[in-house]
């Protein structure tokens, strides 16, 4: 009887060991699958924060995503925006929906665009807002880019203040400055190809202007030449290729 007792005890221990091993293997399989899912579904997430200069003509994010679609990626990038007409970055700091969007995920790239008239005034509040928003994503090693806009068509003298504001912000946030506004007037008034970067109001971008800005971001974020990309936004080869060349 005593021998039988030990025999059954040994069998029970072996059974428990086997079950524990199988369970542990299932847990390991589950962890591996979850990790693989995280990697493949969250390869690239970009958030634009700004106003109508960001969302006009379907938005810079939409056109940037179409540039990206021509890269034949094996994953689906995520492009989103928090953009409201007339908003400054200080307005975004006071908007719960913007804060919620920033905290929604670990963004790979964050793009900040200040209200143009506010930027032209070179206010300390703009730099403070850029720092505050950048600090919200610092723990995720998010790359910060600053979207320098352009002067109003009838007020080219605005460029000096806009440039100073964004250069100060780039230094303060250790972000990358995308100098769209700095090159805007030269592209708009060129003698090579007939283009019009301004909307009829002389403030917002035309489709050509949004395309140019998107091409600049494609170059800045990915380090790729827009000229090597087939996307044209329906502008025609001459105009699209010219704008892509100037965005390089």
Angle formed by the axes of helices 124-137 and 158-173, to 10°?
A: 40
DSSP H/E element including 48: strand 45-50
What gap in Å lies between CA 95 and CA 29, rounded to an integer? 42
Residue 7 or 200, more confident: 200
Angstrom CA distances, 101 to 96, 110, 117, 172, 190, stand at 9, 11, 25, 23, 39
pLDDT mean over 8-16: 38
Residues with Cβ within 8 Å of residue 100, at least 6 apart in sequence: none
Instruction: State yes or no: pLDDT of 4 exceeds 60.
Output: no
Q: What is the pLDDT of residue 165?
A: 98
What gap in Å lies between CA 181 and CA 147, rounded to an integer? 8
pLDDT mean over 104-127: 97
Instruction: State yes or no: pLDDT of 35 exceeds 60.
Output: no
pLDDT mean over 182-186: 97
3-state secondary structure of 121: coil
Enter the tokens of residue 5. Answer: 């007792």
Instruction: State yes or no: pLDDT of 41 exceeds 60.
Output: no
Whole-structure pTM over 0.85, yes or no? no
Enter the tokens of residue 62. Answer: 């939409």
């Amino acid at each position: 009887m005593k021998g039988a007792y030990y025999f059954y005890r040994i069998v029970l221990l072996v059974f428990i060991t086997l079950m524990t091993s199988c369970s542990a293997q299932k847990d390991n399989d589950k962890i591996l699958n979850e990790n693989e899912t995280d990697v493949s579904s969250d390869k690239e997430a970009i958030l634009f924060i700004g106003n109508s200069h960001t969302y006009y003509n379907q938005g810079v994010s939409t056109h940037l995503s179409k540039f990206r679609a021509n890269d034949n990626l094996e994953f689906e990038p995520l492009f989103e925006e928090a953009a409201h007409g007339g908003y400054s970055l200080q307005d975004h700091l006071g908007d719960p929906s913007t804060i919620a969007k920033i905290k929604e995920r670990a963004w790979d790239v964050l793009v900040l665009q200040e209200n143009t008239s506010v930027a032209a005034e070179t206010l300390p509040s703009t730099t403070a807002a850029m720092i505050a928003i950048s600090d919200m994503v610092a723990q995720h090693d998010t790359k910060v880019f600053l979207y320098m806009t352009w002067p109003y068509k009838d007020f080219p003298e605005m460029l000096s203040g806009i440039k100073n504001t964004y250069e100060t912000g780039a230094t303060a946030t250790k972000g990358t400055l995308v100098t769209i506004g700095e090159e805007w007037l030269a592209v708009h008034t060129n003698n090579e190809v007939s283009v019009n970067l301004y909307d009829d109001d002389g403030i917002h971008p035309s489709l050509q202007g949004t395309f140019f800005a998107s091409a600049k971001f494609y170059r800045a974020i990915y380090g790729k030449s827009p000229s090597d990309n087939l996307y044209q936004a329906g502008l025609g080869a001459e105009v699209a290729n010219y704008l892509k060349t100037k965005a390089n």
